[in-house]
Amino acid sequence: MSSPSSSRWSTGAVTLALLALLAGATLQGCGGGGGGAAAPRCGDGHLDAGEECDDGNLVNDDGCTNTCKLPVCGDGIVQAGEQCDDGNAVNNDGCTNTCRLPACGDGIVQAGEQCDGADLAGQSCPSLGFTGGTLACGPACTFVTAACTP
C-alpha cells in the first residue's frame, strides 16, 4: 500500500535534484560567453551603440572619458592640449571657451583687463568722456586714448 506513494515521492525528489543541477550548470555557463548574455555597457572595452569610444578603463582624462565620449573642450574634464575646462560657454570667466586660461592678448576682456585687442568691452572715446576719436587697446590690456578727441 505504501509502496506506490513512496516511489512517487522519490521520483519528485530526483526531479528537484535534477532541476537544481541544471540551474547550477546554467549559472556556471554564464561566464563562458553564452552569446551576448552580458548587456553592452560603457567600460566593457567594447565599442557599443551610443559610444564614441570605450577603452575599458576608469581614466577620465585619457583618450576616452568614463562616459565613453571622445575628449573635447567643453566636457568639463581637462585633457591633453587643454589648460582648463570648466564645461561652460562663458568666455570671460576663469576658462575660455577654447579651454585656455584667461590672458591679456587672447582678445577677450576678463577680470583685471580694461580691454583686450579688438574687444573694448563696449567702451568708446565718447563713453570715456571724450568728444570723439578712436579708442584703442594697449599691449597691457588698458585703454589707449591718444586718438580720442578731447
Residues that bind Ca ion (CB under 5 A): 75, 77, 79, 85-86, 88, 90, 93, 95, 106, 108, 110, 116
Q: Is 2 helix (H, G, I), strand (E, B) or coil?
A: helix
Which residue lies nearer to Ca ion by CB, 74 or 133?
74
What is the Cα–Cα distance from 61 to 80, expressed in whole angstroms? 8
Which residue lies nearer to Ca ion by CB, 44 or 62?
62
Q: How far is the CB of 30 from Ca ion (least distance, A)?
A: 38
Of 137, 127, 132, nearest to 148 by C-alpha is: 132
Q: How far is the CB of 57 from Ca ion (least distance, A)?
A: 17
Q: How far is the CB of 93 from Ca ion (least distance, A)?
A: 4
Which residue lies nearer to Ca ion by CB, 51 or 85?
85
Q: Is the dihedral of CA 62, 66, 71, 75 positive or negative?
A: negative
DSSP conformation class of 90: -
